Amino acid sequence: MARQDYEEQYTHPELREEIKEEIRDRFGPYAAAVENLFLVMSLRRVLKEFLVQQISVSDGRVFLLFHPQSPVKIEKLLELINKPKSRFRLAPDGRLSFSPKNQEWEILLSEVEELLYSIHEPAVSMAPSSVPLHDSAM
């Protein structure tokens, strides 16, 4: 299976464990570096979903730069930043930064993912509405 095929399949949560199992079956137990690769692939999927253009870690803080079209809800960002003793900051260039609760790699990645899901704007449903969009009497 080609790398791109694995990446595309890995975006579906139900297939992740199947891919890991297939690799274990073919090659035996894998090293921590391979598990880290799975974590990075998962993070990459989430970053793409939320249009995060850049992620970095420096001086114990995580920095996220969002694309202007990101589905992040500004109101939720402002709530995070304005909380008393908030560990979240918004820089003038639009970067969100925060002090993670834990510096351990796996926990840090989970925290980033949880943060993104907590501040996103849910997709607008395109289901038909029972309310007419125009008056048929016109």
At 29-55, the pLDDT tens digits run 888 888 888 888 888 989 999 999 999
Based on the structure, what is the number of domains in the chain?
Answer: 1
pTM of the full structure: 0.71
For the CA atoms of 105, 108, 114, 115, the dihedral, rounded to the nearest 10 degrees, stands at -140
Quick check: is 130 in a domain? no
pLDDT band per the 50, 70, 90 thresholds, residue 111: very high
Q: What is the pLDDT of residue 15?
A: 80
DSSP 3-state of 94: coil
Q: Is the pLDDT of residue 132 over 90?
A: no
Assigned domain for 5 exists: no
Instruction: Tell me phi and psi for residue 44, to 5 degrees.
Output: -60, -40
What pLDDT does residue 130 have?
A: 38
Residue 109, domain extent: 51-119
Task: Give a yes or no: residue 31 inside a domain.
Answer: no
Task: Tell me the CA end-to-end span of the chain in Å, nearest whole number.
Answer: 59
